[in-house]
Structure 1
Amino acid sequence: MSTELVQCPTCGVERDAADPPAVCPICADERQYVAPDGQRWIVPDRESPITLRELEPGLWGLEVTDGVGIGQLAKLIVTADGCVMYDVPAAVTPDAVEAVRALGPMRAIIPSHPHMFGLQSLWSAALDDAPVFVSEADAAWLGHRPSALVPWSGILNPIPGVTASQPGGHFPGSSVVHWEGSDGAGVLLAGDTIMVNPDRATVSFLRSYPNRLPLSADVVERIAAHVARYDFDRIYSNFSLRIDRDAAAAVQRSAQRHASWVRGEFDHLTGPG
């Protein structure tokens, strides 16, 4: 293929084209899956339409139509000090790049975990080599190292009012990003670390969402304790679902519910023993 990168069509993650493995390591892992028709490698998706839409003042989503990969809705925090991209689309087009550029300079690209690497090196290169911050704990999953790669751990403050940290869980380096919000009420971007449920009132915590692997009670309580440091009224996970009010309390209630179920406190609701 006449490109230095290829892309797995199942997870959408970029990889060096020189010697791609027989099977995508990210898809072969128990948190993901290999496509029923087997492994393929394709040239990076530069054609799928990408729509930039405002989710709330100062927060935008990048929605890919009919693209490859998992279908994440990448988020853009837009402030007077510049922009932060949280999670990365598995497609990139000139029109989408220009739309993002129009919002302001990109100060940081932060994938929440390896499933969300997408085409991060191509987005970085198209946005003046914006730094790509990958959790040190998850760097071994990189199939291609962006030229502007910055491994990180602990706390990251890419611009004023925005803080990234790593509660782990879904992956050891899984990160969340807290933003003060244009109204000061607080927004948590949680990726797959905390998944908003379809009821838009509760959240879930899983090692694998497609394969339904749970996390332990202790890990879920650790994640909940980690994000309790932040004040946030709203939470977004890595697709389109969000909780619009009292999200911090919803996370704590959901964590306690999860812990109670996996410890067996509700076994009496499941039928005769």
Structure 2
Amino acid sequence: MHTSKNLLICTACGTQFDLPASQPPKGCRICDDPRQFVPPTGQTWTSLSQLRTKDHRNVFTPDPHDPRLTSIHTEPKFGIGQRCILLETSAGNVLWDCIAYLDEETEAFIKGKGGLKAIVISHPHYYTTHLDWAKTFGCPVFVAREDEEWFNRKDGEGCRRFVEGGTAEVLEGVVAIKTGGHFPGSLVLLWEKKLFIADTLVTVPSALYHVDRLPGTTSFAFMWSIPNMIPLPPSELHKMWLALRPFEFESTHGAFNGLDVRDKNVKARVLESMKIQAKNEGWEDVAILKETL
């Protein structure tokens, strides 16, 4: 396993730095950014080797509707607590997003499924230990060019591949779509009408119950800062919609386990949610309110 086991990892966001764990800086530049936060207890650090002595493990959860999808998350919760998702496609396996913890069991599980052809990461909060993952599985990792300022490790082996334009075909039938919004380069991933959204589109609680939905019931939020609850303005919502509009999707798969919305009308619900957000921010004559399917 090609892991940098003694490099510094932020305990709040899981980002790995090109610094030894014995020489921590004052703060984490990811958590100091106004989109994120430093916990009330202050900045603390760890490393992969330290995590392995604290009974952390990754849990593999097959999707009940599609066995080709497996969610992977860490217990006890570490960092933000997001999942990554293994997609077993006919062109090879893709890992959507990344988590900090990587061990021999995870390596064996993924290699037992055929390894990885590519990793795609939605935004800088989930960069975590992505170079270790890429080296372990001998695959490229796709990230948005706009967000490269947030890298905290040098890519000495050329693992990173940049999504330069609005879309990139990662493998045959697997397309990364750059929506922006949360970060300038925020990505989603489309495969077989499944849209993997991380928190580029934030799945809200009212999205999950489909029966007797009253008018005005939203399904998604669109946030500049998720933990600090700062929403995006309608101009950004419109840019995001224009990026998504050409594509068809019938499910969305969010950043955490259980945030899967399966509905043939889910694309309409994305647009509806954008309009609900814009109207409730007080806007009346903006471009997103004039959009239709």
- Give yes or no for the alignment of 1:252 onto 2:259: no
- Give yes or no for the alignment of 1:48 onto 2:50: no
- Give yes or no for the alignment of 1:110 onto 2:123: no
| 1:80, distance to aligned residue in structure 2 (A) | 2.3
1:1-273 mapped onto 2 (5 Å cutoff): 3=5, 5-18=7-20, 20-44=24-48, 45-46=51-52, 47-55=55-63, 56-127=66-137, 129-146=138-155, 147=157, 148-154=159-165, 155-180=167-192, 186-201=193-208, 202-240=219-257, 241-245=259-263, 246-264=265-283
In the alignment, which residue of structure 1 is the partner of 2:213?
none
Contact kept in structure 1, 2:182 and 2:200, CA below 8 Å: yes
| 1:21, distance to aligned residue in structure 2 (A) | 3.3
Aligned-residue sequence identity (percent) comes to 30
Contact kept in structure 1, 2:6 and 2:47, CA below 8 Å: no
> For 1:193-250, what per-residue CA distance to the aligned partner results, in whole angstroms no more than 9, with x for missing partners?
1011112251110001110111001111221221121111000111121211122111
Contact kept in structure 2, 1:52 and 1:60, CA below 8 Å: yes
Q: Is the alpha carbon distance of 1:145 and 1:191 closer, same or farther for their aligned partners in structure 2, counting shifts above 3 Å?
A: farther
Q: Aligned partners of 1:89, 1:209: CA distance in 2, in Å?
A: 18
- Match of 1:157, SS? strand
Q: Aligned partners of 1:68, 1:208: CA distance in 2, in Å?
A: 20
- Match of 2:72, SS? strand
Q: Which amino acid counterpart does residue 70 of structure 1 have in structure 2?
A: I
Q: Is the alpha carbon distance of 1:91 and 1:3 closer, same or farther for their aligned partners in structure 2, counting shifts above 3 Å?
A: closer
Unaligned runs of 5+ in 2: 209-218, 285-293
Q: Aligned partners of 2:271, 2:70: CA distance in 1, in Å?
A: 26
Contact kept in structure 2, 1:220 and 1:258, CA below 8 Å: no
Q: Aligned partners of 1:36, 1:87: CA distance in 2, in Å?
A: 27
Backbone CA RMSD of aligned residues: 1.7
Q: Which amino acid counterpart does residue 61 of structure 2 have in structure 1?
A: R
Stretch of structure 1 that moved more, 244-253 or 163-172: 244-253
- Match of 1:68, SS? coil
